[in-house]
Amino acid sequence: MNATVAEDSTVLAIYTPYKKKLESSMNEVIGYSPVYLTKGSTAETLMGNFFCDALLAMGKKIDPEVQLSFGTKGGIRTEIKKGDVTVGHVFEVMPFENSLTILTLSGEQILNLANFIAKTGGQPIAGMRMEIKADKAQRIELAGQPLDLSKSYKLVTYDYLANGGDNLNALNNPLKRADFPEKVRESLMTYIKELTKNKQPINTQLDGRVKIID
């Protein structure tokens, strides 16, 4: 179909109200970002930090024992520009039907995940800090404490990654897995709305949670 096809007034009358309602919903302003949340190819990014900070906050609401969150650069589809943040912007960031998943992982599995992050030049995380040297993870800390290989940890992510998406096998065979119906984008919107309710902008910063050491 193209401009040479005449508009059908009957069809227009049916879908126009729905189109206007959808546009109104997508244009709803839910928050504000004082900085441009960029992705880039660096080990740590503003967009990645925002995404995983939101994921961790929402994961803790479901299970207060959740200690860290993880995503991938490829899973975050776009950036958020400085200024008002709308529902539509969040849909653009996460257009997929991915839902929250909480995994209980051994210390060894966390180490495997950290090495995946290192090998791929850094990925979005929250609740964990690490350094990368020669594509290997080192100085891994959770809640300010060194990674203990004898302990288990709870991580919040989403079903696509838990199922091995993005060539990720570090999350295979968790000690325990719990899937939840809430979509990732719903969690992002809730997080932003709560900031706005508390009269706070999206105050995301680069804090050195993932560093590449020469």
How does pLDDT run across 6-39, given as a tens digit for each residue? Answer: 555 554 454 444 445 555 689 999 999 999 999 9
* Mean pLDDT, the chain, integer: 91
- pTM score of the predicted model: 0.88
Confidence label for 214 from pLDDT (cuts 50, 70 and 90): confident
pLDDT of the residue at 16 = 46
Read off the pLDDT of residues 181-204 as tens digits, 9 standing for 90 and up: 999 999 999 999 999 999 999 999
Amino acid at 57: A
> 122 to each of 133, 138, 162, 200, how far by Cα in Å?
11, 13, 18, 28
Instruction: Select the CATH number that applies to the domain covering 27-212 from these four: 2.60.120.10, 1.10.1060.10, 3.90.780.10, 3.40.50.720.
Output: 3.90.780.10
Which whole number is the average pLDDT over 42-50? 97
Based on its alpha-carbon atoms, the radius of gyration of the chain, rounded to whole angstroms, reads: 20
